[in-house]
Each structure stands twice: as C-alpha cells, then as structure tokens.
Amino acid sequence: MTNPRKKIILNEILFWKQNKLLPEHYCDFLATLYAEGTDLEELEFASHKQAVIPLEKRKMIFLLGTLCISVIALLYVYFTVPSLTMILTFIVASASITLFIIAFRVVKQHNLLAPILHIIAAILLFSVSIRICTTYFSGNNIALFGLIAANCGVWLWSGIKMKLLYFTVSGVLGFIALIGYYIINLT
C-alpha cells in the first residue's frame, strides 16, 4: 500500500479512536495491521495533527459562520427596512431559530435543559409570527387563523417527530381551540 493511502487510513483509525467510534482495542488492532511493522507511537503522534478537524475547532467554525450570517442578515434588514419594529422582529426570529438549534444539540447531553429551550423557542417563534401577521395583515382574521394553525401544525409535527409529549399536546390543544373558535363564530 502506498504511503499517502496508509496515512489516510491511519488518520481515520486515529479519528475513530479519539471520538470513540470503535472500541479502543479494535482501533489498536487496525492501526497495528495497517502500520505494517513501523513504530505505531510515532505514526500516531505524526498523524494526530493531520487528523480530521477536532470538535472544538468545528464548534468554533460553526459559531463564527452563524455570527457572520447573522450580521450580514441584520445589515441587510437594517438597510432595506427602515422600521425599528421589523429589525427587532428579525432579531427575535433569529434568536428563536438559534434556540431551536441549540436545543436540538443540548437534548443529547442535558435532558433537563432541552425542554426549557424548546418551549422558549416555540413561544418566541409564535410571538414573532403573530407580530408579523398583525404588522402586514392587520385586520385579516383568515391570515391570523392560518398562521396560528400553521404554528399548531409545527408543534404537532415536532412532538410526533421528536417524541415530545408537550409539543404534541400543545399542537392538538391548539387545533381543538381553533376549531372550537371557528365553530362558535360560525353560529
């Protein structure tokens, strides 16, 4: 096997070992097998710096990318829409989307913190949607009704998809309340 191919394979094995994708003794066996008699410690030390981007760097790249996109979007909204209300609405919408993303990542690590983030993000998204509807479609009850139904649909879908009882119950209760309101106002 050529040397660059061997380095790539050994880097992957080292990555698996560092991130515990395979048990450590499997990784040691595979690394010994592919090293073909060369000093394994020397290869691990040399390949450690060439391994796939570490988790901390990936998080930093993600955060910087999110920050840059947020700043560009904020500047776009600031220079195209002179309304302060719209800028604040955009900031709250960005915060709710960011909270959704953080909540999905946190749910794997801290089971108590994730529901709080889910609920806060859902409330922020609901309030931003209502604010946008009342700003652009003031007096149009059909648009408001549709928007509330869409939010309830998102809650119901999220509850079923992620197996979250509080979103499922919120979505069903929201639909029941909307149907009840529609029936009462029809008569």
Q: What is the pLDDT of residues 32-62, one digit of tens each?
A: 887 776 655 555 444 444 445 555 666 666 6
166, 159 contact by CB (below 8 A): yes
Left if phi > 0, otherwise alpha if psi is -120 to 50, otherwise beta: which for 37? left
Single out the residue of 168, 96, 156 nearest to residue 132, CA to CA: 96
DSSP 43-97: HHHHHHTTSSPPHHHHHHHHHHHHHHHHHHHHHHHHHH---HHHHHHHHHHHHHH
Residue 149 has pLDDT above 90, yes or no: yes
Q: What is the pLDDT of residues 74-124, one digit of tens each?
A: 666 666 655 666 666 677 777 767 766 776 666 666 666 677 777 877 887
10, 27 contact by CB (below 8 A): no
Q: Quote the DSSP letter at residue 172.
A: H
CA contacts within 13 A on the Cβ side of 28: 4
Q: What is the pLDDT of residue 177?
A: 92
First-residue to last-residue Cα distance in the chain: 80
Share of the chain above pLDDT 90, in %: 14
Q: Quote the DSSP letter at residue 140.
A: -
- The alpha-carbon radius of gyration of the chain (Å, integer) is 25
Residue 152 has pLDDT above 90, yes or no: yes
Look over the chain and give the mean of its residue pLDDT values, rounded to a whole number.
75
pTM: 0.47
Q: What is the pLDDT of residues 58-67, one digit of tens each?
A: 666 666 666 6
